[in-house]
Structures are given as C-alpha cells and as structure tokens.
Chain A
Amino acid sequence: GQGVEQPDNLMSVEGTFARVNCTYSTSGFNGLSWYQQREGHAPVFLSYVVLDGLKDSGHFSTFLSRSNGYSYLLLTELQIKDSASYLCAVSWPNYNVLYFGSGTKLTVEP
C-alpha cells in the first residue's frame, strides 16, 4: 500500500555497515518508521523520522528525503545478531495507520 518499496534481500559482513533502502509514493505524508523483525517474532520499533536529513541514533541511523520519497536505515559496526528483516512503514492518511513495505532481509556474514 502507498507504494512502499524495499529490496528483498541484503548481505553484508560483520564489522562493516549496511544500508537498507525504502522508497514510497504518497501525498499527505505523516512520517516514516523503521522496525526490526526477527523470524517468527514481532516487529520491534527502531526509529521514526518526519523531517529531512540524517537522524543519528548510534548503531542505527535513519535518513529521509521527502522530496524524493526516499529513506534509508543505516546500521554500523554490524554484528551477526543484526541479521533480521527491516521493515519500513509510512504513516498515511493519518498517524494511526502505518503502511508497511515487504521488508528487507539482512544477512550479516562473519
């Protein structure tokens, strides 16, 4: 819904970084959220952004460009346990409703 698109898979190496991309196409934008979901478990909130630019939260950082309908989640100093699916979600038409992308499965290799 709302054209939230994410690549299906991403692979990276322990100790390096990974950038998970998300594009969306909607008007009336009310913000974008990122969630982590491990196989067989519930999504866990990571970050919410509504203003353009980079929001640095340590291990996880998020970037937003509203004019381009684009966001990314940046994970630094990757650990094996960061292997999970990362879900992007756009709030539309109001804050209560989140439209999720299909998620990007990140695999961190030794």
Chain B
Amino acid sequence: DPKIIQKPKYLVAVTGSEKILICEQYLGHNAMYWYRQSAKKPLEFMFSYSYQKLMDNQTASSRFQPQSSKKNHLDLQITALKPDDSATYFCASSQETGYSGNTLYFGEGSRLIVV
C-alpha cells in the first residue's frame, strides 16, 4: 500500500487558473516537503515543513503556497498557472528535519500540464 498518497496523479490546467495538489503521508513522519521535477531541470526543492511549520522556502514565486491542515497533510496550492509550471510535483516526508531529513520518502508525484 502506498504510504504517501498524492492526488491527482495527472492533471491538465488552463493558463491563469488555480489548482491544489494533495499530499497525505501515513509513515508517522513529522517533516514533509515539496519538490518539483520538469523535463528541463533536476529535481528541485520547494518547501520543507516540520510539525506543520514552514522551515525552508526556496520558491521565488508567491503563486506557490503550501497548506498543512494536519500533521500528515501538506497540500500545494498553485495560482495564476503558467505553462512553465508544467512539471511533476513530488511530495516527500522524513522522520524529522535535521539529520534524518536526508532520508526522504517520496510519493509517486502529481504530473501537471499547463496549456
């Protein structure tokens, strides 16, 4: 059974619209992350959260907003979508941040195409 569930697996969005990517983890971890992978770039860090608090943010644009309603949830809201936002968005978790943050468990990703 998948321990990190991401929804939806695939979605197509229109430029200028808004989407929310869902992530739930059932590993009992306290730290969660978002990474992005596009065809042109390496896997790219976006956000890290620990106990529902933002720890690190490497995303320049405020169009990307993480939302954590529960400790095991970290959704990603993306507004004013652009074609360059097309990528696979991976949610990940680790037991804690800090040293154990190096061992990440990834979900299967949400593949977003913006047209």
Contact = CB atoms under 8 A, between A and B. Distances in A.
Interface in B11-54: 31, 33, 41-45, 48, 50
Nearest to A49: B102
A31 B98 CA distance: 11
A33 B42 contact: no
B43 A100 contact: yes
A91 B102 contact: yes
Contacts of B105: 45
Contact of B102 (A42, A48, A87, A99): A48
Interface stretch (B66-74, B78-86, B106-114): B106-114
Interface in A48-82: 48
A98 interface: yes
B65 interface: no
A87 B45 contact: no
Interface residues of A, number: 25
B98 A96 contact: yes
Contacts of B55: 96
Contacts of B90: 42-43
28 contacts: A33-B102, A33-B103, A35-B104, A42-B90, A42-B106, A42-B108, A43-B104, A43-B106, A45-B103, A48-B102, A48-B103, A91-B102, A94-B56, A95-B99, A95-B100, A96-B50, A96-B56, A96-B97, A97-B45, A97-B48, A97-B56, A98-B43, A99-B42, A99-B45, A100-B42, A100-B44, A102-B41, A103-B42
6 tightest CB-CB pairs across the interface, nearest first? A42-B106, A100-B43, A96-B48, A95-B101, A100-B42, A102-B42
